[in-house]
Amino acid sequence: MANKPVLAANWKLNPTTAGEAAALVQGIVEAARNQDRVTVAIFPPFLWILGVLELLEGTGIELGAQDCFWEPSGPYTGEVSAAMLAGVCQWVIVGHSERRAMGETDEVVARKAGAALAAKLSTIVCVGENQEQHDAGQAAQVVTAQVGASLAQASADDSERLVLAYEPVWAIGTGKNADPEHAYKQMRLIRDAATKLIGPKAGQNVRVVYGGSVNAANVEQYVELPQCDGCLVGGASLKADEFSTMIRSTAGVYSAAVQ
Which positions lie near ligand PGA, rule CB under 6 A? 10, 167, 172-173, 211-214, 232-236
- What sign results for the dihedral spanned by CA atoms 31, 32, 35, 39? positive
Q: Between 198 and 236, whose beta carbon lies closer to ligand PGA?
A: 236
Q: Between 213 and 250, whose beta carbon lies closer to ligand PGA?
A: 213
Which H or E element spans position 125? strand 122-127
Least distance to ligand PGA, CB of residue 77, Å: 26
Rounded to a whole number of angstroms, the CA Rg of the chain reads 17
The catalytic residue positions are 96, 167
Which H or E element spans position 211? strand 207-211
What is the Cβ-side half-sphere exposure of residue 238, based on CA atoms within 13 angstroms? Answer: 14
Q: Between 70 and 243, whose beta carbon lies closer to ligand PGA?
A: 243
Phi, psi of 22 (to 5 degrees): -65, -40
Q: Between 121 and 202, whose beta carbon lies closer to ligand PGA?
A: 121
Are the beta carbons of 173 and 139 closer than 8 angstroms? no
Least distance to ligand PGA, CB of residue 12, Å: 7
Distance CA 147, CA 155 (A): 13
Least distance to ligand PGA, CB of residue 175, Å: 8
Query: Nearest to ligand PGA by Cβ — which residue?
Result: 234
Q: Between 65 and 214, whose beta carbon lies closer to ligand PGA?
A: 214
Distance CA 67, CA 109 (A): 10
Least distance to ligand PGA, CB of residue 63, Å: 16
What is the Cβ-side half-sphere exposure of residue 180, based on CA atoms within 13 angstroms? Answer: 14
Reference 159, options 197, 209, 109; nearest CA is 197
Least distance to ligand PGA, CB of residue 57, Å: 26
Give Cα separations from 130 to 75, 133, 148, 183, 219 (angstroms). 34, 5, 18, 14, 21
